[in-house]
Structure 1
Amino acid sequence: MTANTTNAKDITTVLVLGGTGKTGRRVASRLRRREGVEVRLGSRSTRPRFDWTDESTWDTVLTGVDAVYVVYAPDLGVPGADKVVGAFARRAVDLGVRRLVLLSGRGEEGAARAEHAIRTSGAEWTVVRCAWFVQAFSEDFLREGVLDGTLALPAGDVAEPFVDADDIADVAVTALLDDGHVGRVYELTGPRALTFAQAAAELSEVTGREVRYVPVSAAEYGAMLVEHGLPRDEAEFLAELFARVLDGRNSRLADGVREALGRSPRDFGEVVREAAARGAWDPATVMSGA
């Protein structure tokens, strides 16, 4: 730890943005188990309210905070996201926040720009750069496809090293509260890469229902999202983003979980078996969102 780096014992109040989302709620839960740590959630549904698009909501949630888990919605790939993240980070520093931990994505140009904005904000920073979440299949937009038996994506036969959201939360919490993680970029993946066809086969075995993967073009995927009620501009953005990052650039494994925690990441199969045991693919179960 350098002379100008915050001692971990001085981090007593942590703001968790996206605190009801897949990683945010896991981070908040872990933080609440740490003695002497006060947790504050920031979202459009919290009181006080936080909204990325309304700078007037920023100061109230940031005042008195020592560290922030930064999750940008809807995605760091959205044009201009880096400018918003940069403005937020600078405002946080102005209000006395000392440490920022950014949830980022692999292979995204917009995410790389947001990472730069965090690094140059004047705060102590850590970047947690992640592969696709395993929980996309159990808690997010791919759950419906598992229930319907068809996973349609513009991914071809590209492999993705899916990472467990619990591993992400563990890394984020240690970066927020513990010494030795400032100035680090942790790239997180699972221990093996699977094609979506292989993931579908494992999901079939675990859930006891047939799940098949159907590769589609970006245009076809965008049209499907529109049919499901997504606004056309958002659907086109997501389709283009998925096609771009699922071109093979992110298939390699990374060792960020071991670097941060000293242990191996959890495997796709282990995570989906646990999800099935909890009833993740019970049609009557309502799962959490982003």
Structure 2
Amino acid sequence: MSAINPSMADGSVLVLGATGKTGRRVTGLLGPVARPASRSSATRFDWSEPATWEPAVAGTTAVYVVPPENPALLAEFVPLAVRSGVTGLVLLSMRGAPDDDPFEAAVMSSGAGWTVLRPTWFMQNFDEDLFAEPVRHGEVAVPAGQGVHPFIDVADIAEVAVAALTRDGHAGQTYELSGPEALSFTEMLARITAVTGKPVRYTDVGPDEFAASLRGLGYPDEIADLVTMLLVRIRTGEEAHLSDGVQRVLGREPRTFADYLGSSSFA
């Protein structure tokens, strides 16, 4: 990855969601240029408490945006950030976002330079998030059938984000990001089993059953329905295609699932 622009001041890039999967990696790559912010960081930022926004963004020139669940909050934050002197916004979106996506619209209409990242599902979901507990229990039950999907290593998303935040040439770009190979859940779990020696089986379940299980875990209805819909898109083959955003930005191939396993908690 290209070196960070040496003219950037310490703390000049506000990193939202700094304790999350992408945010903490973006923070690590930025080094002193980063101003990490979250509900538990030294720089406090809470989407549900607008009074925390202006102090967090003051003095920064760019923001890595991990959006809230409510797009109205992002639409309120973005103008505040621009008024505070922010000239660059990098938004973590998702593959399949509609053309009228309100999160993307908020940054694209901001008047600042913007970059949108649309990644596929994260490989790290298997050891850090949604699928981690099921993997530990030996069974992942989702409504993906035998569909395949090019999961992406979060480390690649972070490198692309940092390039967009710190180097010229990325303003006004939407980058579709994926891993280099489309795999089924059966294939991915077999590879995890080969590394850990602990069998993990895949069970295909119906969408309604899966959505109900998420609600039982405390997910709001809209999030349970969204996650279920995205998995059904894998099932129907709509998510099998590869994207070239990593190659375009970083000039190399994305990390493979084997690369991820070698650097994950499974290793």
Q: Decide whether the 8 Å contact of 1:103 with 1:127 is kept in 2.
A: yes
Contact 1:11-1:67 within 8 A present in 2 as well = no
| Rounded Cα–Cα distance in structure 1 between residues aligned with 2:180 and 2:247 | 10
Corresponding residue number in structure 2 for 1:28: 27
**Which of 201, 206, 227 is 2:190 aligned to?**
201
Aligned counterpart in structure 2 of residue 233 of structure 1, from 204, 208, 221: 221
Offset from partner CA, 1:42-73 (integer Å, 9 cap, x none): 21112342111222211010110111100024
Give, in whole Å, the separation in 2 of the partners of 1:57 and 1:107.
Answer: 31
Q: Does the Cα contact within 8 Å between 1:86 and 1:117 map onto a contact in 2?
A: yes
Q: Distance in 1 between matches of 2:23 and 2:227?
A: 25
What letter corresponds to residue 72 of structure 1 in structure 2? P
- 1:147 and 1:281 in contact (8 A); partners too: no
Q: Match for residue 242 of structure 1?
A: 230
User: Relative to structure 1, is the Cα distance of residues 239 and 9 closer, same or farther in structure 2, using a 3 angstrom cutoff?
Assistant: closer
Matching of residue 41 in structure 1 with residue 41 in structure 2: no
Structure 2 CA distance for aligned equivalents of residues 110 and 211 of structure 1 = 38
Residue number in structure 2 paired with 1:191? 180
* Aligned-residue offset at 1:98: 0.7
In 1, Cα distance between the equivalents of 2:73 and 2:108? 14
- TM-score normalised to the size of structure 2? 0.90
Equivalence map 1:140-219=2 (5 Å):
140-219=129-208
- Which amino acid letter does the alignment assign opposite residue 193 of structure 2? S
TM-score, normalised to structure 1, is 0.83
Specify the SS of the correspondent of 2:145. coil
Please provide the CA RMSD for this pair. Answer: 2.2
CA contact (8 A) 1:221 1:239 kept: no
C-alpha distance in structure 2 between counterparts of 1:82 and 1:110, whole Å: 15
Aligned residues: 261
CA deviations on 1:76-132 (whole Å, 9 max, x unpaired) are: xx4xx3332222111111111010001110013499331122111111111111001
Distance in 2 separating the partners of 1:11 and 1:212:
48
Letter in 2 for 1:87: E
Report the identity percentage: 43
Q: Which residue is 1:19 aligned to? A: 18
Match of 2:60 in 1: 65
Match of 1:83 among 72, 80, 86: 72
5+ residue gaps, structure 1: 1-7, 283-290
TM superposition shift of 1:165: 0.6
1:230 counterpart letter in structure 2: G
Counterpart check, 1:223 vs 2:218: no
Query: Following TM superposition, by how much is the alpha carbon of 1:245 offset from its aligned partner in structure 2, in angstroms?
Result: 4.3
- Native 8 Å contact 1:222 1:238 kept in 2: no
* 2:84 equivalent in structure 1: 95
Alpha-carbon distance change, 244 to 116 in structure 1, aligned in 2, over 3 angstroms? farther
Q: CA 1:245 to 1:83, structure 2 compared with 1: closer, same or farther past 3 Å?
A: farther
Deviations 1:25-47 (A, max 9, x none): 11100100xxxx53212211123
Residue pair 1:159, 1:193 contacting (<8 A) in 2 also:
yes
- Residue 104 (structure 2) aligns with: 115
Instruction: Note if 1:253 corresponds to 2:242.
Output: yes
Report the Cα distance in structure 1 between the residues aligned to 2:25 and 2:100, rounded to whole angstroms: 22
Structure 1: distance between partners of 2:204 and 2:113 = 42
